[in-house]
Amino acid sequence: MSQLKMMSSECLGICRQSIGLPALGFILTLGMVGSGLQAAEQHAAKHTAAAPDPVVVPYESADHPVPPTKIDHLVHLVLQKHGIKPARPCSDEVFIRRVFVDLIGTLPTRREVVYFSNSTDPRKRAKLIEVLMTRDEFTDYWTLKWCDLLRVKSEFPVNLWPNGVQAYHRWIRDAVKENRPYDVFARQLLTSSGSNFRQPAVNFYRAVQGTEPEAIAEMVALTFMGVRTEHWSDPTQKEFAAFFSRIAYKKTVEWKEEIVYLDPTVTEPLVAVFPDRKKVTIPAGEDPRVVFADWLITPQNPWFTRSVSNRVWYWLMGRGIIHEPDDIRPNNPVSNLALLTHLQTELVRSNYNIKHLFRLILNSQTYQQSCIPHSDHKYAGAFFAHYTMRRLDAEVLVDALNRFGNTREKYWSPIPEPFTFIPEDQRTITLSDGSITSQFLEMFGRPSRDKGYESERETKPTEFQRLYMLNSTEMHARIWKSPQLRQVIRESKGDPHRAIRLTYLTILSRRPTTEETRIAIKHFKKSRKRVGINGAVQDLAWALLNTKEFLYKH
């Protein structure tokens, strides 16, 4: 509260002059209701042992709209063992926003929300999942996620150059679009040779911080096994690194082009050791990377399927079955071994179809739970008794704000970008190069793509983020210019109840509660004579954009 008092004079000075945000108290009052998620969480956690609580509107549903799956059976076995009560199902309005953000990195439009929530089709959730996986935004968003893992960014004066990055990004995007089997995808990266400009997968070896076998081995283990070799003994690291000891590099006459190839000067056989401690002797002239890749993608090999199954679960559920997903080791426990084994089995059975994992997880009751816990057990989150709330990715958030305000992001890069042209209206989730950034992306924790760790993406809120959302000229411009708000004002035709409902649907993808409507109507009556319905709608939009409910996946 003291922080808000400190900045209230400047904040209100800007807003009063321009868009009529006359009372910071309105933000605070509505914020208490708008962050009803937090209040509901606290209420639910206190009443788990009593009679069933009433459904928390608008976040929960009384009954599951989908039947239980094997995932749910395996999750509930662990919950029952520990006496943990699972959360209720999420409402349709929560589900559509959640699955849009999780699958395509985009918020649903007001009309999409209304159409979905009004539908009586019992299979509408499953059908929506299938539709979203065919959209271009699905390809764009999951290309972004794989590029984070594969460290796709330009660096100067070494490693990847912008045109190599763009070729690499296109190759990854093509793989996502065609749903290339994950074992094929991994093998193509591991065994790639040739020019980093003409054979895009070769950039896998150019995106490493060093060309030493140990550096490459560290990157391979992290990417495909979720393992940090720093936890291994020195002899184990060196024995594993031997698989990458015959890689050679040479430059060409073309600027920044490099050829990755098998060193032809090797005349002695090579002894290498797989992560499962089995030794293999590789004759001279044979590529050790091929030997390793064939071992890695063998269906009976748990190292490969365990890592990607756990990572996909983490991406969709906000927490790994082994957490963190890039720190798999014996003393980092598995929270539900049977669940992870089931996902691994399904991945192999589906011919390494990543979309199959998406379908299994997204169509489960476990994914479709409310984020409001119904147990205060300290491991409720770790055992997936509720959906995990987390802040929107920086790229997703800025795209949502720019679409709302019809504004454009101003990008920059520390790297000379002679081959890069960024259209003014390009969405941030489609950027090919991790070195291209903006003030917003830096402030809201976009990953550096230096190591490929999931923890490089920072989603914890900061004071600078709060000030930006509450009091920046950029947010002021978005609210003032928003074509979506102008549409709300036109459609409401002076009716404050309709204006409030349309504003909630536009920003939070749901209808307001009775209490929220009461508070907003009270403010509309106070401010309408002074700033008109336009100013009152802008007040409301400003308040909603600053709620946890807008800023977070929930």
Q: Which two tokens stand for residue 291?
A: 């030997």
**pLDDT value of position 509:** 98
**pLDDT value of position 429:** 97
Rounded distance between C-alpha atoms, residue 432 and residue 168, angstroms: 9
Handedness of CA 416, 420, 425, 428 (dihedral sign): negative
Q: What is the DSSP pairing of strand 194-195 with strand 258-262?
A: antiparallel
DSSP 437: B
DSSP 53: P
Tell me the percentage of the chain whose pLDDT exceeds 90. 80
Provide the greatest CA pair distance for the chain.
88
**pLDDT value of position 424:** 76
CA 354 to chain centre: 16
**pLDDT value of position 530:** 76
**pLDDT value of position 41:** 54
Q: Residue-wise over 468-486: b if at least 16 C-beta within 10 A, else e?
A: bbbbbebbbebbeebebbe
Confidence tier at 50 by pLDDT (50, 70, 90):
very low
* 2 pLDDT above the threshold of 90: no
Q: Which two tokens stand for residue 69?
A: 């799956």
- How many CA atoms does the CB half-sphere of 304 hold within 13 Å? 21
Which residue bears the tokens 């990157």?
219
Report the pLDDT averaged over residues 147-176: 91
Tell me the pLDDT tens digit for each residue of 4-26: 232 223 332 323 333 334 444 55
Tell me the pLDDT tens digit for each residue of 289-316: 999 999 999 999 999 999 999 999 999 9
- How many CA atoms does the CB half-sphere of 524 hold within 13 Å? 18
Report the pLDDT averaged over residues 41-63: 68
Beta strands per DSSP E along 97-199: 194-195
Report the pLDDT averaged over residues 389-399: 98
- 216, 240 contact by CB (below 8 A): no
Provide φ and ψ at 48, rounded to 5°.
-75, -25
* 343 pLDDT above the threshold of 90: yes
Q: What is the DSSP pairing of strand 258-262 with strand 390-391?
A: unpaired
**pLDDT value of position 417:** 61
Q: Which two tokens stand for residue 342?
A: 């089931």
* 33 pLDDT above the threshold of 80: no
Task: Tell me whether residue 276 is exposed, middle or buried, using C-beta atoms within 10 angstroms of its C-beta: 0 to 12, 13 to 18, 19 or more.
Answer: exposed
Higher pLDDT, 462 or 156: 462
- 189, 151 contact by CB (below 8 A): no
Domain residue extents for the chain:
69-134+309-387, 137-296
**pLDDT value of position 159:** 73
pTM over 0.75: yes
**pLDDT value of position 17:** 32
**pLDDT value of position 262:** 96
In terms of phi and psi (left: phi > 0; alpha: psi -120 to 50; beta: otherwise), the region of 285 is left
What average pLDDT is seen over the chain? 90
**pLDDT value of position 228:** 96
Q: What residues are paired with 249 via a beta bridge?
A: 260
Q: Which two tokens stand for residue 411?
A: 């990008």
Alpha-carbon separation of residue 148 from 64, 344, 445, 498, 545 (angstroms): 35, 23, 13, 42, 27
Report the pLDDT averaged over residues 58-84: 96
Tell me the pLDDT tens digit for each residue of 503-542: 999 999 999 999 999 999 999 988 877 788 899 999 999 9
Tell me the pLDDT tens digit for each residue of 191-239: 999 999 999 999 999 999 889 999 999 999 999 999 999 999 999 999 9
**pLDDT value of position 161:** 83
CB atoms inside a 10 Å sphere around CB 442? 13
C-alpha closest to that of 367 among 58, 77, 552, 126: 126
Helices (H) and strands (E) in the chain, counts: 25, 7
* 1 pLDDT above the threshold of 70: no
